[in-house]
Each structure stands twice: as structure tokens, then as C-alpha cells.
Amino acid sequence: MNVILRPYDKALDYGFIISTWPKAVFYGQDEQTIRSFDEDQRKRWFELKFNDINVDLDRWECRVAVDAEDPTFILGYSVTYLRSDKKTRGILFTYVKAAYRQQGLGKLLCGPETERVYNLTDWTVLGKEIIEKRKENGHEFKGIESDVSHSGEDS
């Protein structure tokens, strides 16, 4: 399969992103954390996460990896923003469908920028494992808890 990157198209991509991002974050945590939520807490968590994403999705940059022959078939996406220093790109979230992982799509989606900072707010167990492997292989990692405002300061 040939893969191309295309910019976010709200009409094609919004439903996929808004449904996968919260689920990936919630169910990507350790089992103890997941089990600690009762039904009401889980419902409230999803409402808050949906609202957080929905408020700013249009102003962040989304890169979408798709099948070259069918640009509506999404393989994965990343959500990034240019940090206030205007030099580094903050990576908020990267998602690749399970069947297409381990093929370099995550790296492709994070972009060609040499200076990146990973926002740690929505990290899953798998994401943490990937970074640990990269650290072991000598890759430098820069992470921040959160520098994303919801006021329009970051683009």
C-alpha cells in the first residue's frame, strides 16, 4: 500500500479523529487506572476530553496518513502546533491504526522538523514504551507536561 500525507479535511476526518483520540487515550492507560473509573466518572471523562479536543482541533495542524489510492481511508494522524518560540513543533497526539503500526507511519506523521517537543498530557502506555525504546537507542527526547493554551496563543 502506498501512503500519502494530506492536511486535515474536517468533512472527511473529524468523525474519525474525535472518536479515536479520546478512546485511545482512555483505553491506552494501565488496567488499574481504567478499572478505577465508575460509569459516571468514565462518562464525564469522555465528555471533558471530547470538549478539550473539539474546542481547538480546527486551529491545530493535523497531518493525515491515507491510502494513496483512497484518500478517505485513514491509516493514522498526528495533531501538532507551533510553539510560542516559533521554532519547535509541539506534538499533542499521534494515532496509527493497529494494523499499520511498526511501519514508520508515526515518525512520518510527526513531521520533518528536527526540533520537536512531545506534550505528555495524552500519552498512552504504548506511547511511553516507544519513547523508552528510542531513548535506549540513543535518541534524544524532549517532553513537556503541557504548554497548550485554549485561548488561541498557540497555532
CA end-to-end span of the chain: 32
Task: For 142, list phi and psi in degrees, rounded to 5.
Answer: -120, 120
Does the pLDDT value for residue 57 go beyond 50?
Answer: yes
Instruction: Work out whether strand 70-82 and strand 143-144 pair parallel, antiparallel, or are unpaired.
Output: unpaired
From the CB of residue 122, how many other CB atoms can be counted at a distance below 10 Å?
A: 21
Q: Is 40 within 8 Å of 48 (Cβ atoms)?
A: no
For the chain, the structural domain boundaries read 3-144
Average pLDDT, the chain: 81
Whole-Å CA distances, 105 to 44, 77, 146, 148 = 32, 9, 24, 24
What average pLDDT does range 107-133 have in this prediction? 68
DSSP, collapsed to helix, strand or coil, labels residue 63 as strand
Strands 116-119 and 70-82: unpaired
Name the CA dihedral angle for 91, 127, 95, 23, rounded to a multiple of 10 degrees: -110
Determine the pLDDT at residue 30. Answer: 85
pLDDT at 143: 58
Give percent above pLDDT 70 in the chain. 72
Q: Is the pLDDT of residue 86 over 80?
A: no
Q: Using one digit for the tens of pLDDT, what is the confidence trace for 137-154?
A: 665 555 555 555 444 444
Give the right CATH number for 3-144 from 3.30.930.10, 3.40.50.720, 3.40.50.150, 3.40.630.30: 3.40.630.30
Lowest mean pLDDT among 39-48, 57-66, 118-127: 118-127
pLDDT band, very low/low/confident/very high, at 91 (cuts 50, 70, 90): confident
Is the CB of residue 16 less than 8 Å from the CB of residue 121?
A: no
| pLDDT number for residue 153 | 46
Section 25-54 average pLDDT = 92
Q: Is residue 43 predicted with pLDDT exceeding 90? A: yes
Q: Which residue has the cell 494501565?
A: 30
